[in-house]
Amino acid sequence: MRWLALCLVLVMACKRNHADGEPAGSSSGSMSDDDSAREQQRFDTERRPDKVVEALGIKPGSRVADVGAGSGLLTVHLARAVAPNGKVVATDVDATVLELLKQRLKAAKLADVVEPRVVEADTPGLEPATYDAILLAEVDHFFPDPAAWLRSAAAALKPGGRIVISNRVYHKAQSMAAAQKAGLVLKTESTPVPTHFIAVFVAPGAKK
C-alpha cells in the first residue's frame, strides 16, 4: 500500500512539474492546439527555459535526459537545442502524460528528436555513460531516496556530463543536501526567476 501511494504521488507530480503546479492537460489525455500554445506561452514567460538550456550546456548533437518530463513544456526547448542530430530521452512514470508530450512535440515538428520513456519511480532508467546532461525539473523532492537516485543517474553521464536540478526555491536546501550526499560536485547555481533556482552538478573527479 505504501508503494502504491508513492506511485500515485509521483504520477501527479510528474504531470505537474513542468507546468509550474498546473495540470499537464485534460483528463481525457488530449489538449487543443490553442490550449497547448497558451500553456506553453505562460510557462516560457514565467520560467525562463532558455536559462535551463544554458545551464545544461547542450547543443546540436547532444544527448540529454528530461526526467519527469510531463507534458513536455521544457522538453520542446531541449529538443530544439539538440536538433537535428541530437536526442532527448523524456522520462515519466505515467504513460498517459507522455501522450500529451508526443502531441506537443508533433505540433512543434520535433517528434523525431525525442524518445518518450516510461520508467519506474525509484530508478532513472537511463543507459550508463550515455548522456551529456540530465535535467531534473521540479521532481527530485519526490524521489524516495534522492541521494541514491542521483548516484544512479551520475553513472549515466558521459565524462564531463552534468546533472541540472531546477526546482522551487523552498526545495533548494533539500536538493543541495541530496546532491552533496550523492557525491556530486556543485558547478554553478543561479535564481533566474524569483520562484526557482537552477543548480549544475558534475560527477566526482570531473573537471569543473
| Other beta carbons within 10 Å of 43 | 20
Phi-psi region for residue 80, left (φ > 0), alpha (ψ -120 to 50) or beta? alpha
pLDDT at 49: 94
On whether the 2-202 domain is CATH 3.40.50.150, my answer is: yes
Give pTM, 2 decimals: 0.84
Q: Please, what sign has the CA dihedral across residues 69, 46, 142, 157?
A: positive
Give the ranges where 92-132 is alpha helix by DSSP (H).
95-107
* d(C-alpha 182, C-alpha 163), whole Å: 12
Q: Give mean pLDDT in consecutive 10-residue pieces for the chain, a chain of 208 residues.
A: 41 44 41 73 85 97 97 96 98 95 94 97 95 97 96 97 97 98 97 96 77
Closest Cα to residue 18, out of 106, 118, 137?
Answer: 137
